[in-house]
Every structure is written in C-alpha cells, then in structure tokens.
Structure 1
Amino acid sequence: MGVTDPAGPVMDRDEVDRALARLGAEHEAIETSLLALQDHAGRRLLEGAALTGVTAERWAATEASITLLWAYFDAYSGALRSAREIRSRRRWSSREDLVELTGLLRGEAVTVAGSAAAVAGAPTLHGGPGRLSERYSLSALVDRMNELYAASLDVVVAADAVWSALPARIDLLAAELQRTRQLAHSVGVRPGEHPAGDDLERITRTLTRLREQVISDPLAFWVPAQGSSAPGGGRPDTTVYDREARALEDVRREIDAVLTVRQDAEKRLVRLRDVLSRADRTLAEARTARGEVLAKIAATEVPVVSGPPTALQEQLATAAEYRRHAQWHRLSPLLERLEEKAEEELLRARESLTAVTAPLAVRAELRGRLDAYKAKVARHGLAEEPELVERYEKARRMLWSAPCDLRVAEQAVLRYQQAAAEALGGPGASAVPRQYGPQDSRGEP
C-alpha cells in the first residue's frame, strides 16, 4: 500500500507529469476561451450600451462573473506555475517534492480571496457571503470556471444574437414602411381619413418602440432553447416584428388595390355607366311590354315595373367626383359596391322583363300549337272538315283578338287539338308536340 497524505496516495513521477500535462492543456484552453470572451463583439456592445430591464440585471451579474473568472484563472495559473517549479527542481523528484506536488495537484491548495468577488452583483464564493476566502482543488476550480464561463457566454451570445438579428430587420421594415407611407400619401391614404393610414401610424409607433427596446434590453427578446444546456442555445423572439410585418403587408396590398383603382377608374366608370344604362333600357322595355300586355291580354295580373335606380346613379356621380378630385382611397370601396349593385340591378331588370312578358309568351305558344295542328291535318287532307274549320276559327279569333283571355283561348286550342286527333285516327292518335317558338305576328292586332 502506498504512502498517503491528506490529498490521497502520493503521486509518482509519471502521474505528476501526466497531471501537469493535462492541467497545462486545460490552462491553455481556459485562457483561450477567456480571451475570446473578452474580445467577443457581444461583450463589447453590452459593456458600452445603456441597458435596461432584464438585460441590465443579467449583465451586471455577468460582468461580476467575468471579473471573478479572471481571479479564479489567476489563482489557477499561480498554482500550476508553482507545481511546475517544484517539478523542475530535479529530474527525479524526491519524496518530499512528490508529497508537495500531490498536495498541489490533488488537494485544496488554491486559495481565492473574497475580495475578488466583492463587486456589486458578483456571484458569492461557495460557502456564503461572509467568507473572506475559499480553497479549491485545481479540478474543482476548473469546474467552477466552466460554470461561470458558460453562464457568462450565454448572456453575451444571446444579446449578440438578438442585436445581430432584430435591429437590422427592423430597419429594413422601417424603410419599407417609409416607402409605403409615401405611396399611401400619394393616393390620399392618410391617418384619420382611411383605416390603412391609421394602421401605418400604429405600425410606425410600434416599430420605433420595438427598436428602442431591442437595443436597450435585448435579452427580453430571447427565447432559450428547450432542453439545451449549450451557451447561447435559443433564438431571437420575433413575435412583435412578424406581426407588424404582416400588418404592413396587408396595408401594402390595400394601397396596391387603391393604385389599381387609380389606373382603371375611368374604364370601370364607363363599364358601370353601360351596365346601368342597359338596366334602364331593360326596365323601359319592361314598362312598354307591361302596357302591351294589359292592352292585349285579359284577366291577367301583370307585375308592376319599378323605376330607374336613381340611388345608383347618384352614387355613380359621387364616384366620378372622387375620381376628379383624386380621392382614390374613397373611390376604391365605392366602385366595388357599385359594380356589385349594378350587376344586381341589371339582373333584376331582366327578371322583371321576363315576368311582364310571360303572358305574351303563353299566347305565342298557343298560336304556334294551333298552327302546327292545322298544318298536320292539312297534310292528311282534312283541313276542310267542318268541325275542324269551326273549332280552328274559334280558337284563332280568340288568340288574334285583343284583349285575349288566355284561359278561354287555351281551352279552344285544346278542343281543336282533340278534334284533330280524332279525325287523324281516333283518341289514341299521336299528338303534335307543343311548339315553343318565337311569337307569330301574322294577323296580330
């Protein structure tokens, strides 16, 4: 069993050399990391920024941690330097040297003064704030430095990531916002006069406030990665930025629609006038047809035909006025409503004409059916049959007289149709199909 001391079994020369080599490599790696942290762009920005909120609190603690890190590193360097000096005394270290080296390399031989952490917000030494110093083994000191380094680097990397991502994007969006504001102003979209103008004002205020907050408190816009222990694991929180970018895109589409109105306004107004003119002509035709129906068709209820759409004509005049005064933001929604209502008005006029002329269509169908049966019996040489002649003439007088009672005339046509069917071959003879064609004007009163 080997000789022991409070640090454990005494190390032999090979163990000492391997430990010194490992600690030397760790020392070099720690020094490189600390220098990189010292030169990190994020740390320099944090050091010179006017911080607020979460970032101000965390950076105060991080600055103290970095100061403490260098104090730990100096203590670590001193202990390693002492161990190397002892080892370099002799090529073959004596037992006393090995005992001393074992204490340095494995025991709690490194003392860190409490004053090293005596700055505002500094992490306290292990053991509580009342301790004036603390002793570490070299391996424990490395663990402590790694812990502080990871926490410090996390703050620096997170702040740098937010500053690298968000301000530039906000500036680009603000430039696009400025172009959109100028475009909106050119088409009359202004705050207080158009919702899109109010939206642009709100987006402007939000982006200005967002940029100020990102610059002064970047860590408030950092989302740590779930389950990640690596320093700087996470992403910038772009929720507000994304929302305002979408809002600006919506406004831009609305302004593009207004621009389209400016380009197409005259053509659309001409088209609207044409649609309303056709609706007026159709209604006029329906009113004329109604008078004709009332004069020529007896015992028929004819729908009343409404007058021209004066309200739409007034709105059309308003639209033309908007165009003359370049009030495109007002013209755009008005044109959309007018186009929809004008098409509805034309459809209503056509339906009115169809409803009014329905009795004339029925009379024309009865006339066509009567003539079709007469032609059929004539082909069979039965046109001069007295009963057929009598029934034909009776039906014809009813259909070509004014006013025409459609119900009575239809019964007369049916009687002629039945007589013709019997003459052609009995009740089972094939009947001539109903003829739906254009109105026959022969002999029309």
Structure 2
Amino acid sequence: MGVAEPFPGPAGRPHGPVMDRDEVDRALARLGAEHEAVETSLLALQDHAGRRLLEGAELTGVTKDRWATAEQQITLLWGYFDAYTAALNGIRELRSRRRWSSREDLAELTERLRGRSVTVASQAAHTAPGITGPARLSEEFTLEELVARMNDLYAASLDVVVTADAVWSALPARIDLLSAELRRTRSLAHSVGVRPGEHPSGDELESITEELSTLRAQVVSDPLAFWRPGPGSAAPGGGRPDTDRYDRAARALEDVRREIEAVLQVRQDSEERLMRLRDVLSRADRTLTEARAARGEVLAKIAASEVPAVSGPPTALQERLATAAEHRRHARWHRLSPLLESLEREAEEELMRARESLTAVTAPLAVRAELRGRLDAYKAKVARQGSAEDPMLIERYDAARRMLWSAPCDLRAAEQAVLRYQHAAAEALAQRQDGPESGPTDRRGDS
C-alpha cells in the first residue's frame, strides 16, 4: 500500500505587523489543508503493509535496531500531531468568537500563528530519548518548526517502513521461485545418479540449498541488511534491494542445471556415441596395422633409412570403452558423461597419432616415389627435345633407375643419381638450344 509524501510545511513568516482578519482567515484555511494532509499521511503510514509486517516480525540485526528507533519516532510523531491539532483548534476557536475580531484578538491570533505558541509536554519529549536532543520538561515550537520536526520524523520512519517492504516484496518471492527450481533440479539430478558425496554437482546442489535457506531466513528477519541506498538519494526508500547473494546462487544453480542436462543428454545419445567411439578406435587400430605392415615393407625395400617404431593397438582406450559400456548398462549416467567426453577427445587424438605414424613410416617410400617421378619426368622432357639417344644421358638414367628400382634402395645414392641425370639433361637441352654444332647430337652424328 502506498503512503502519501511527507506533508508540506507552512510558509511561515517572521514576526511582524498584526495580521488582519483576511490574513488570519487565509492562514487558517492553509493550516486546515495542511492538517488534513498531515493526518492522511500519518494514517497511511499507520496502515502501511510494511509497518504491519515489521510489527509482527521477529526482527534481528540492523532492522531490529532501526525499527525500535522508528517506533519511537512514530509515537513521538503522533504526539506532535496531537499538539499541532490542539493548537489549530485553539486558533479556530479564538477566531470564531467574534465575526469581527478585535485588535486584541488579532494580536493574539498573530502570535499563535507566527510565534512559539505550541508547547509539547514532557511525556512526548521522553518518548524517544536521544531523537530530538536532550530531554526537557517541555518544548515550544512555532507551527512552522513543529511541521519541520514532524517532516523529519516522518521521513525517517517512512524510510524504514518502505525499505523493509521493498526488500520483503522483492527477495523472498524470488528466493521461493529459485528454491522451487532447485527442487526440480535436485529431483532430476537424483534420477541420473547425481547425489551428494558421489558427484561434485550433487555437493553443489546441497550448498545452494543451504545458502537459499539461510538467505531467506536472514531476509525475513533483517530486510534492511539487504538494502543498497541509491547514490545521493534523500527520499524515503531511495535505493534498491541488494540481490548479490541471490544472484550468485541463481548462477550456481544454472551451471549445475546445464551439467545435469548434459548428463541427461548422455542418457539419450550414449549408445550412438559409444558406436562412434568404437568406429574411431577401430580406424585407429586399422591404421596402426597398416603402418606396421608398411614399416616391414620399408625396411625390406629401403636401405640405410631410419624408420620409426609403430605403437601397439590402443588397448587402454578399449578397456575404458568397455567401462563406459558397463556404466551405460547400469544407468550410471553421471559417471558415463565425463568418461565419454574424455574418451571422445582421446580417441580422436589416437586416430590422429595413428595417421601420423603411418605417414612417418611410409615417408621413405614417398621419397622414392617422388624420385622415380622426377626421373621419368626429365626423361620425357629430354625425349620431347630429341636428346633421348644421348649416350651420357642413357647411362645416367640407367644408373639412377637401377638404384630406384632395386631393393633395398639407397635413397641418398639414388637421389644423387637423379640429380646427376637432371643436371646432364639440363645441360644437353641448353646445348641443343644454343646450336647443332655444339650439342651432344652433333657428336653422335660425327661418330
């Protein structure tokens, strides 16, 4: 329920000339409107939902201390209002004695309207010791000073009521909704075997449960401890509820919920993932078998070559794959989830290592094939240029070919032989382009 804004104070004037009848009547009309606004605000404060909750709650901490002060302020405020009401009624009674007030009446009316004519008894002054300064037997106010004092007390009391109500309206309901989501997540986690002491997410759910329970109890008993005042705000209730702890719990629950959903997804697609894993490991095994066969061929066909060893089949991964299948059969989804993730990563790495091993083992064969291709390419080039019958080129080609097509093949020597043929071919082609008298063909013609 809303509460009216702090009531306005009278304009007030310094003591001066005696007021005439019209000035008195206007002042009384203004005071009457002011009195109605004051009463409306006080009744609204009295009926405020936050005030009723504060009165009925078992408060602790900051809220307990501030509400005890606010209760004293509200009691003192009503005492001031009663004094203000009595002063206004007295002024009205004096004005109503005569239709045409005498000079003496107007002087007294002026004094009551402008002077320190309101006396508050000592009982009101002692209601809240320390709030209004040292206790005195009585206090005297002008109407303007009394309204200013009531405004201060009203704003301070209203701030406590509005702030507590804002926190109670915001946080407990949100905590209850998050707690309901937490219960659903815990039930889901239990269904996939995520339990405290067995899985980190189960422990996290227990921690979140304790935090929300503690947070709600603290919010209910000490709402003002969860209020963050707005910068530079002097209005009652200026600021916002402090939701930092709630937000952290909500984020933690969201992280756990995602992990539980991942486990549920494992339950749904675990068979397909296990089949893919078996396929990847089978390909890795076949690739390693091919690499071992290729290594034997390389050792038989290539001489003086360092051929890396080939590792055995991924038996450790096969054993872990069998463990994963066992987890699936017994519905241990929370254990299967991380195991599948690591197996998928390591199986792909194993397949990559097998392929790299095959590439490394067959590298000498690839070098031999490249040298054979280069030799034949230069021979074809020489033939197109009409120098295929050059004896030197034939001799060097035959030497390189014997090395490359014999077993075991010495790659270093074969490469040198190919380079010698390549240089001779390049020289023959250059001489042929320079002229027939200087080329190798001319020598063959002369002979």
Provide the residue aligned with 1:46 in structure 2. 54
Report the TM-score, using the length of structure 1 for normalisation: 0.89
Provide the residue aligned with 1:205 in structure 2. 210
Q: Work out which of the residue numbers 222, 225, 233 in structure 1 matches 2:230.
A: 225
Gaps of 5+ in 1: 1-5, 430-445
> How far does the alpha carbon of each residue in 1:326-379 deviate from its partner, in whole angstroms, 9 at most, with x for none?
222222222221112111111111111111111111222222233333334444
1:250 aligned to 2:255?
yes
- Separation (CA, whole Å) in 1 of partners of 2:113 and 2:423: 128
- Separation (CA, whole Å) in 1 of partners of 2:155 and 2:245: 29
What percentage of aligned pairs have identical amino acids?
A: 79
Kindly report which structure 2 residues correspond to 1:4-83, keeping only aligned pairs within 5 A, or say none: 9-83=17-91
The more displaced of 388-397 and 92-101 is: 388-397
Provide the residue aligned with 1:346 in structure 2. 351
What is the alpha-carbon root mean square deviation over aligned residues? 2.1
Secondary structure of the 2:250 match is: helix
- Separation (CA, whole Å) in 2 of partners of 1:272 and 1:125: 77
Cα distance, 1:422 vs. partner? 4.6
Provide the residue aligned with 1:104 in structure 2. 112
Provide the residue aligned with 1:394 in structure 2. 399
The more displaced of 333-342 and 243-252 is: 333-342
1:192 aligned to 2:192?
no
Provide the residue aligned with 2:98 in structure 1. 90
Secondary structure of the 2:119 match is: strand
1:215 aligned to 2:220?
yes
Kindly report which structure 2 residues correspond to 1:32-431, keeping only aligned pairs within 5 A, or say none: 32-119=40-127, 122-124=128-130, 126=132, 128-129=134-135, 131-379=136-384, 382-426=387-431
Provide the residue aligned with 1:441 in structure 2. none
Q: CA, structure 1 residues 405+27, in 2 after alignment: closer, same or farther (shift >3 Å)?
A: same
Cα distance, 1:191 vs. partner? 0.9
> How far does the alpha carbon of each residue in 1:107-162 deviate from its partner, in whole angstroms, 9 at most, with x for none?
2222211223544xx24575622x22222222211111111111111111011111
Letter in 1 for 2:193: G
Cα distance, 1:425 vs. partner? 4.8
- Separation (CA, whole Å) in 2 of partners of 1:291 and 1:114: 112
- Separation (CA, whole Å) in 1 of partners of 2:433 and 2:356: 40
- Separation (CA, whole Å) in 2 of partners of 1:126 and 1:378: 118
- Separation (CA, whole Å) in 2 of partners of 1:9 and 1:126: 32
- Separation (CA, whole Å) in 1 of partners of 2:25 and 2:420: 131
- Separation (CA, whole Å) in 2 of partners of 1:47 and 1:32: 21
Cα distance, 1:88 vs. partner? 0.9
- Separation (CA, whole Å) in 1 of partners of 2:344 and 2:162: 58
- Separation (CA, whole Å) in 2 of partners of 1:381 and 1:107: 132
- Separation (CA, whole Å) in 2 of partners of 1:229 and 1:424: 99
CA contact (8 A) 1:162 1:218 kept: yes
Secondary structure of the 1:426 match is: helix
Q: CA, structure 1 residues 390+49, in 2 after alignment: closer, same or farther (shift >3 Å)?
A: same
- Separation (CA, whole Å) in 2 of partners of 1:126 and 1:421: 113
> How far does the alpha carbon of each residue in 1:256-285 deviate from its partner, in whole angstroms, 9 at most, with x for none?
221222222111111111111111111111
Cα distance, 1:43 vs. partner? 0.8
Q: CA, structure 1 residues 427+357, in 2 after alignment: closer, same or farther (shift >3 Å)?
A: farther
Letter in 2 for 1:45: L
Secondary structure of the 1:291 match is: helix
Q: CA, structure 1 residues 184+117, in 2 after alignment: closer, same or farther (shift >3 Å)?
A: farther
CA contact (8 A) 1:167 1:215 kept: yes
Letter in 2 for 1:128: P
- Separation (CA, whole Å) in 2 of partners of 1:315 and 1:344: 15
Secondary structure of the 1:51 match is: coil
Gaps of 5+ in 2: 1-13, 435-447
Cα distance, 1:181 vs. partner? 0.8
Task: Give the total of aligned pairs.
Answer: 421
Report the TM-score, using the length of structure 2 for normalisation: 0.89
Letter in 2 for 1:339: E
Cα distance, 1:94 vs. partner? 0.8
CA contact (8 A) 1:322 1:331 kept: yes
- Separation (CA, whole Å) in 2 of partners of 1:231 and 1:148: 11
Letter in 2 for 1:411: Q
Q: CA, structure 1 residues 132+367, in 2 after alignment: closer, same or farther (shift >3 Å)?
A: same
CA contact (8 A) 1:117 1:125 kept: no
> How far does the alpha carbon of each residue in 1:276-306 deviate from its partner, in whole angstroms, 9 at most, with x for none?
1111111111111111111111111111111
- Separation (CA, whole Å) in 1 of partners of 2:431 and 2:210: 93
Secondary structure of the 2:140 match is: strand
